Each structure stands twice: as structure tokens, then as C-alpha cells.
Amino acid sequence: MTATPPALPSALHASLRPIQPNDATAWSAYLNQPGVIEHTSWGDISPAALATLIEGYAEDGDALRWAIVDANGKLLGTVGLNEIARAHGRAELAYDLDPRYQGRGLATHAARAVVNWAHDALGLQRIQATVLDSNAPSIAVLDRIGMQREGVLHQYRKVRGQPRDYWMYAAVQARPGTTAPTITA
């Protein structure tokens, strides 16, 4: 699925653009750095596997991914939605960031922008995120953007062969006839 990405605050000196197959090598390079995927369920992160994944985003209607890039177009991270279920009004937020660019608010602002965009542009009522219980940086992002922790999903996904617990977070838009929240936290 291709779509016009939401804007990021200009103070970040970064923007979102559709992810492209030629991003696969840079994406793989930072995902392969020590510790980057330690607290995730990522599988094959080779350039070839990521290029195939990127091609799937372009063709598939149930997922999208944008590159977070600097003013020169350098890949800093990615953000997007998986498991987009328009019939049910929901999708799952996903993001990652090159460790060299962590601590600048990029993941927080990108995640917030995508959640608000999904509510406004796609009309989805529920944006959820599942996060490994040991992934403190990602939990902090979800807390900062105001997503609510709904509970634990026991043995939800296998991480390198071992079943692990995940937290379920969600940003749920108000029901019809009530005021819809916008995440600003």
C-alpha cells in the first residue's frame, strides 16, 4: 500500500517518505548492529529479505512502511502500520530506528504522526502496538505518545525460538458522537 506520509515537526530536520527497495541495505545494516533487534521478534534481516518485505509493502493493502530520512535522504529509521484491517478499523504500529539517531525524539514524533494519520486519513478507530516486555525504549515511546497499556499477551510470539510475553498498547479513537482524541502527549 502506498500513501502520502504525514509530516514530522520541522525542528527534527527529518521527514517520512515511502520506503524503497534500495533502502534495504541501509535498513539491514542498522538492524544488524548489536542489540538493535534483541528485544523484538524480527526474523531474517538480510538485505534480500528486507527488499522482499519492502516490495510487499508496495503491493499489499494490509501494511505500509515509511522511511524516516534526514534532509539528505539518509535512512534513519522506519515507521508504519502492519495488519491494517479496514473492515475492523484497526492496525498495528511498528517502528525502528538506527541507534545512532536514538534519543532525538525521532521515534516518538514519527509514531505519534502515524497514529494520528491512521485515525484521520484512514479512519481507523484502533491503532495497537505489541511490545516485548523487555523492550524498555519502545515501551517509553508508546508511553510518551499516550498509548494505553491494555495488558499482557502471554507467550504471544516466539523470539529466537522462545515464547515471550508482550504488552498490548492501544490508541482508541472515541466512539461516534463523542470527541475523538488526538495524541499530543
The pLDDT value given to residue 75: 98
Fold exhibited by the domain 10-172? Aminopeptidase (3.40.630)
Tell which wins on pLDDT, 145 or 183: 145
Averaged over 62-84, what is the pLDDT? 96
Residue-wise pLDDT tens digits, 117-146: 999 999 999 999 999 988 999 999 999 999
d(CA 178, CA 78): 33
What confidence tens digit (pLDDT) does each residue in 87-103 have?
999 999 999 999 999 99
Can you read off the three cell numbers belonging to residue 113? Answer: 504522526
pLDDT at 60 exceeding the cut of 80: no
- Asked if residue 183 has pLDDT above 70, the reply is no
Q: What's the rounded Cα separation, in Å, for the pair 110 and 107? A: 5
Judge whether residue 1 has pLDDT over 90.
no
Predicted TM-score of the model (pTM)? 0.89
Residue linked to cell 484497526: 90
**Is it the case that residue 185 has pLDDT exceeding 80?**
no
Model pLDDT, residue 118: 96
Q: Would you state the pLDDT for residue 11?
A: 92
> Can you give the residue ranges of every domain in the chain?
10-172
For the beta carbon of residue 43, count every other beta carbon within 10 angstroms. Answer: 11
Distance CA 92, CA 166 (A): 14
Per-residue pLDDT at 175: 65
Query: Which band of pLDDT confidence, cut at 50, 70 and 90, is reported for residue 160?
Result: confident
Q: Which amino acid is at 169?
A: Y
